[in-house]
Every structure is written in C-alpha cells, then in structure tokens.
Amino acid sequence: MSAFKPLVFSGVQPTGNLHLGNYLGAIRKFVALQESNDCIYCVVDMHSITAQLVHEDLPKQTRSITAAFLAAGIDPKKHIVFNQSRVPQHAELAWVFNCVARIGWMNRMTQFKDKAGKDRENASLGLLAYPSLMAADILLYRATHVPVGDDQKQHLELTRDIAAKFNNDFSARIGELGVGVEMMMGEEKLNGFFPLTEPIIEGPATRVMSLRDGSKKMSKSDPSDLSRINLTDDADTISKKIKKAKTDPEPLPSEMEGLKERPEAENLIGIYAALSDRTREDVIAEFGGQQFSIFKPALADLAVDKLAPIAGEMRRISADTAYVDSILRDGGERAGAIARETMKTVHEIVGLLND
C-alpha cells in the first residue's frame, strides 16, 4: 500500500434530543461530505454510558439519531450507518489504545475536566478513557478525515498522537508484515499502519451557542428548552424560540468588528449564515444597522424553511422502528467486515495470537 485510502468517519452520541448545533456542526456536514467521499457514520452508543450509565431509553435514543441521519439526507446504501456496540472491535481496539496512550495525555483532556467537575475521583474510568475509545472508533476503519466541532479538536489531536506512537513503536513489525504505508514522522521515515487523521472544521457556525446565553454552547442538557432548537421541534416552536432568543438593545452592526463583545448577536448572525449557506459578512451587509425586531423574524422564517421538513421526516422515520433497525443491522454487518480485518492485522502487529 502506497497511501491510505481516503475515508471519512464521524459519530454522534445518542443522549437527549439532537439540536441545531448538532445539525450545523455535524450532521449537515455529513450529508455534504458523502457527495465526494466514502463515509462511515456511527451512533456511538457505547460513549453514551461514560458519563451516565443508566438511561431511560437508550435504544429509542439510538434510533432517533439514526432517523436524524436519514432525514437529513445521508444515504445508508452508498455509505455505512450503524451503531457502535454492534461492532465489538471498537472496544477491543480501545483496549490496545489504552495501553498506547499515556495517563498524562488523558489528564490534559479539557472535556474530562469539564464533565467530571470538582468530583473527579467519583467520575467513571470510562469518562477518563473516552478519548481512547474515540480514537478506536476512527482508526478501526483507518479513517483519514473526521468532521469535528471546535470542542472535539483536542480529542482528534489525541487520536493522532495514539496513531503516531503505535506506528513508531511497531514500525519494524509493520514493515516486516507488509501491512503499512511509508510515512514521515518529523525527519524520520517509518512504516505506519494507522493514518494521522485530519480534522474537517469549516463553516460559519462550527460552534452554535445557547439562545438564552451567547457565552455558552447550545446543549441537550441545558434545563431550559428555550436555549436550543431541537431537530424534532415543529415550525411554530422553532419560530417562537428564535423570537424569544436573548439579544441586546443595540441594532445589528454594519461590520464584523461590531460583533465583538456581543455574543448573542454573533451567534444569531452565525446561525443565519450557516442556514443560508452564506458568510457572516454577507448577512451583516444585508441586515447591518437594522433592529433585531426585523432580523429575528427573517431568521425564524429561514430556520423553519430549513429545519421543519427535516423534523417531519425524522418523525416519520422514527415511527418505523423495523426500518431503522434494518439500516443499523446492515450497516453493522458492513462495518464489522472492515473492523475484523483491521483487528486481525493489529493482533499480528502487536503479537496477540490468532487461530
């Protein structure tokens, strides 16, 4: 092999309702990327138990994420859509990576610090090791690219560190087996089995903030439902939430510089730009100097136009449980075939005996 085959991988946790931030930051990118790439999209149900072990209805949440993928336009026949726990090699490779990763690397992960809070001693080991499983999710398929939000960049950097250390430690064995790609690590040439996965971070709304507080990320866990637009919201609810979104008393600025220190204005401008496939500069050129009383109804109409059809299709697909399960079953079988081949080779590289 002279180069890694281009492949896009990404996953979404089945915890709570998907919202506008998930759509703009991830799912809409998934749809666009499938037009020119081979893609694997995963509902990462094993990740969902790292911070909260017991869920009210994890199967329903898993099916809901799958329905969102399909409603947004992901093609499960041309690409692979499945739930993580169907493919046990995710957990198996994660254990190998637990032995590759260093404790110091894990302790630097800001998301663990945020989620564990002050009671770190009482956090699950799974929450600490979460990034190692994420690395396994990606590298099990030797994915070359991952669409990520700003908050996941650090985890992808860890994925690259794990791949680099594995390749460096086992370079000679990879070369002997003839299963790798020649690659440069600094000034040293070595044999790599795993690619150094590249992030795909783009668009005017890579980080969508709360409608009630522009300094906080839009979140499923926010106690106020008015803080987010859920993908299952109907047209009236979408419109109401945008019109109730927090703003300041000043009119919209006429240039980008004027958005500084105005987080709510910046957030709403970014949402409009993303939904309309325009730049923030374009939106400011159109609405600069106008009051929010004019801008908010325009944003509400745009959001309803873009999101309400997805919500309706998502509800229709979710009602057909047998269909959703068939998609996950087929995707799991196809993903499993790739995963078994990867793990067979990893066993050979590491020295774990196979029959």
Cβ neighbour number for residue 288 with a 10 Å cutoff: 17
Active-site residue (options: 5, 118, 216, 217): 217
Dihedral of CA 34/78/26/197: which sign? negative
Active-site residue (options: 5, 60, 77, 115): 115
Q: CB-based contacts of 20: which residues, under 8 Å, 6+ apart? A: 208, 218, 228, 229, 230, 231, 271, 303, 307
In which residue are the tokens 């600025």 written? 253
260 is catalytic: no
5 is catalytic: no
Alpha helices, DSSP H only, in the chain?
A: 20-22, 28-33, 58-72, 89-100, 103-107, 110-116, 125-139, 153-169, 171-177, 235-243, 263-275, 280-287, 292-318, 321-350
By DSSP bridging, strand 198-200 and strand 145-147 are parallel
By DSSP bridging, strand 188-192 and strand 181-185 are antiparallel
Active-site residue (options: 113, 153, 165, 220): 220
- Give the active site residues: 115, 217, 220
